[in-house]
Structure 1
């Protein structure tokens, strides 16, 4: 699987897992140089608190378009050390 935005591959892995319609990539497969920490947070009752990243490709910012669970709940343990994408970031097989 590959996550692409603006023609740039942000993540690539054969170990992405699909959960609730989104693919979660192992953190080690994500090109972190394109991600900038965001102050945005959300809460999922069964995974816990999500933290977000802005995706930055050559100064073009896609705000809060990647997220992860720094300390997922026990029920959400499968997303530990994984990052998911949305807001126009395309995931291809």
Structure 2
């Protein structure tokens, strides 16, 4: 089981993550939606495509753009399309 934890709270958990470039990408159904807020931030990866972001809100604190996903990944990255990865202090624990 893999768990994403921020601010002492489990924000996602799944046995079915996809590992790319050292990041665990969680299926969208594995995230706890109540902690995720849409962001207007977008970035482009040369081989994965355009990423969209979520900010996290847990325990009255906000972690801006701490999660990202590729709504329409390139052909090379279809395995992570729609899946969510983390950074900015979010720990992914593997049990």
Q: TM-score range by the shorter chain?
A: over 0.9
SS in 1 for 2:26: strand
Partner of 2:9: 8
Deviations 1:59-83 (A, max 9, x none): 2000000000011111110111200
CA deviations 1:14-64 (Å, max 9, x no partner) are 001111011100001000110000111100011100000001003200000
Structure 1, unaligned stretches of length 5 or more?
Answer: none
Q: Which residues of structure 2 form unaligned runs of 5+?
A: none
Structure 1 SS opposite 2:76 = coil
1:77 corresponds to which residue?
Answer: 78
Taking only aligned residues, the RMSD between alpha carbons, in angstroms, comes to 0.7
Counterpart Cα distance in 1 of 2:81 and 2:49: 11
Q: Distance in 2 between matches of 1:24 and 1:41?
A: 17
**TM-score, length-normalised on structure 2?**
0.95
Q: TM-score, normalised by structure 1?
A: 0.97
Aligned-partner SS, 1:75: helix
Quick one: distance in 2 between partners of 1:84 and 1:36?
14
The number of aligned residues is 93
Counterpart of 2:75 in 1: which secondary structure?
coil
